């Protein structure tokens, strides 16, 4: 589900056991990440699928990338793998106004 920044962040803060997933490359992550996020690079192809399979599909996932395209793709893949609660950050970190580390 695509959600705007305000709704994405407030939902994350209000959700117990929520996980933030950054699907950018390691090089992109070096420029800053949303606090608490885990990096699963979607460009790793099958490696990305293997990393997703290590996650608990019953948790709630908040997914982002640079501009929202890769994270939307990642959310689709996650849903195909049985993840029911996945939320894409519209605009990605390029439009993010929240905390960054």
Q: Is residue 100 part of a domain?
A: no
Q: Which domain holds residue 90?
A: 2-53+64-95
Q: Is residue 47 part of a domain?
A: yes
Instruction: Report the run of H or E that residue 13 belongs to, with start and end.
Output: helix 5-14
Catalytic residues: 65
| CATH assignment of the domain containing 74 | 3.40.250.10
The rounded distance, in Å, linking the Cα atoms of 96 and 85 is 21
Say what the pLDDT of residue 21 is. 98
Q: Is residue 24 part of a domain?
A: yes
The rounded distance, in Å, linking the Cα atoms of 42 and 36 is 18
Domain count, the chain: 1
pLDDT tens, position by position, 44-81: 999 999 999 999 999 999 999 999 999 999 999 999 99
pTM over 0.95: yes
Say what the pLDDT of residue 55 is. 98
Q: Is residue 58 part of a domain?
A: no
Q: Is residue 77 part of a domain?
A: yes
Q: Is residue 59 part of a domain?
A: no
Q: Is residue 43 part of a domain?
A: yes
């Amino acid at each position: 589900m695509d959600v705007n920044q305000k709704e994405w962040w407030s939902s994350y803060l209000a959700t117990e056991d929520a996980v933030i997933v950054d699907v950018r490359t390691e090089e992109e992550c070096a420029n800053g990440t949303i606090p608490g996020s885990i990096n699963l690079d979607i460009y790793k192809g099958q490696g990305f699928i293997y990393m997703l399979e290590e996650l608990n599909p019953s948790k709630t996932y908040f997914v982002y990338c640079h501009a929202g395209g890769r994270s939307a793709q990642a959310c689709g893949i996650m849903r195909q793998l049985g993840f029911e609660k996945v939320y894409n950050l519209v605009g990605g970190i390029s439009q993010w106004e929240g905390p960054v580390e």
